[in-house]
Structure 1
């Protein structure tokens, strides 16, 4: 594939001076597969109804829904049993934590209008503050805009308090990495304890293949430091109107 032209955005002061993006906070919901195997029906409802409504909130700047397939599951690294049940990851990108108030109010209003299905069985929800963003120069776009960049997959890395794995952009297929640290919030909103780090590796190649390339770098990371992996797994993005394309 021919490389895109020009100088990467993160190396052009004039581009960066026009704006660095205003996302500071992630709300991450990790869930098990549907108890009755109705994952495709749930993804259809969430993508066509629930998820678009969140964007009426000025604090919600982007959203990303991910699904694990059997091939994705086989490509995971060692993961504790508590997190190995995760097959769905939903992320909302907020301008600030105060936006979560409107997020809850909208959820209640949609429920009152009979617009909600029973949630997928939750594993963990977390509120995270973004602290590191990096993009591979070859993709040209800046790290600030990666949540809007078309991905073929995402490798999700959930660890105990850990430095950002910025070196992973050197792995073929990794277009960039965002990392964020968790905060303790009210139990009604999230359950992730303070001190967790979540990293998204945005991928422009098949996530299962990239997972194999990432494994050696991740295993070295965990051997050399005090970082404990909680989840290290590839995921596919939901494909609209092809609800059964990627399922657990």
Structure 2
């Protein structure tokens, strides 16, 4: 059933009330757990580590994604380095300066015995938020997509910037955010300059939606393959083994 009213992005009074203050995202891409304890890791991270980060005023939202075998089968061809990515954690920051206290909090939790061994990393990066857009059918504005209850995300990690023409017309794509690597942040990031990460926020099953996106994305990549292009599920709280690699 369609929600009533005019989309937020078409209402000047709604936009005047606030455009959100997220400027930066910290993204950690990791492999599956080497001992098959992915469900245990998701339980610890979702119940303990991730909520604690929200005591920081600069952390505005967070999103944990996981790849299942079905998600893997629906991936597009990319760079070999990123084939191992099965977990993606994103923190949305209002200010990159908040990464300092973010690290201090992590150390304090570790000193309190509150950390599991981290998943083997593939890449960690700090990205600056660029364009944001939302499908008019969802009514909620593009600025609030990090808080919108997604059924999945298709992530596009690319070497070049691209227009997002056609993505919002795909059934199941509710909104799109684009980000680009910012200056190096030492221990926080090992992402090369010139990478671009696009979030396609979904209100349908990510595997099904990925198939619908195929034609649009193949047109997008006529000049070269992406580094990583894959559907992911959000973690389902308290059903830790429902969706694991």
Equivalent position SS for 2:184: coil
Tell me the residue number matched to 1:212: 211
Which deviations, in whole Å up to 9, do the C-alpha atoms of 1:105-154 show, x marking residues without a partner? 10111111111111000000000000110000000000000000001000
Looking at structure 1, the residues matched to 60 and 176 of structure 2 have their Cα atoms a distance apart, in angstroms, of 18
Q: Moved runs in structure 1, 4+ residues, more than 4 A?
A: none
Name the count of aligned residue pairs.
Answer: 245
Tell me the residue number matched to 1:168: 167
Contact residue 9 and residue 15 of structure 2 kept, 8 A: yes
For normalisation by structure 1, the TM-score amounts to 0.97
Paired residues for 1:109-120 under 5 Å: 109-120=108-119
Which region of structure 1 is more displaced relative to structure 2, 15-24 or 159-168?
A: 159-168
Tell me the residue number matched to 1:124: 123
Tell me the residue number matched to 2:244: 247
State the shift of 1:165 in Å. Answer: 2.0
Equivalent position SS for 2:243: coil
Tell whether 2:66 aligns with 1:67: yes
Which deviations, in whole Å up to 9, do the C-alpha atoms of 1:7-50 show, x marking residues without a partner? 00000001000000000000000000000000000000000000
Using a 3 Å threshold, how does the CA distance of structure 1 residues 238 and 159 change in structure 2: closer, same or farther?
same
Looking at structure 2, the residues matched to 167 and 207 of structure 1 have their Cα atoms a distance apart, in angstroms, of 17
Q: Which runs of 5+ in 2 are unaligned?
A: none
Paired residues for 1:52-91 under 5 Å: 52-91=51-90
Contact residue 182 and residue 192 of structure 1 kept, 8 A: yes
Looking at structure 1, the residues matched to 34 and 165 of structure 2 have their Cα atoms a distance apart, in angstroms, of 36
Tell me the residue number matched to 2:193: 194
Q: Which runs of 5+ in 1 are unaligned?
A: none
Q: 1:237 aligns with which of 234, 237, 242?
A: 234
For normalisation by structure 2, the TM-score amounts to 0.98
Looking at structure 2, the residues matched to 179 and 227 of structure 1 have their Cα atoms a distance apart, in angstroms, of 19
Which region of structure 1 is more displaced relative to structure 2, 156-165 or 236-245?
A: 156-165
Contact residue 29 and residue 124 of structure 1 kept, 8 A: yes
Tell me the residue number matched to 1:137: 136
Contact residue 161 and residue 181 of structure 1 kept, 8 A: no
Which region of structure 1 is more displaced relative to structure 2, 93-102 or 187-196?
A: 187-196
Looking at structure 2, the residues matched to 83 and 183 of structure 1 have their Cα atoms a distance apart, in angstroms, of 20
Using a 3 Å threshold, how does the CA distance of structure 1 residues 116 and 136 change in structure 2: closer, same or farther?
same
State the shift of 1:227 in Å. Answer: 5.4
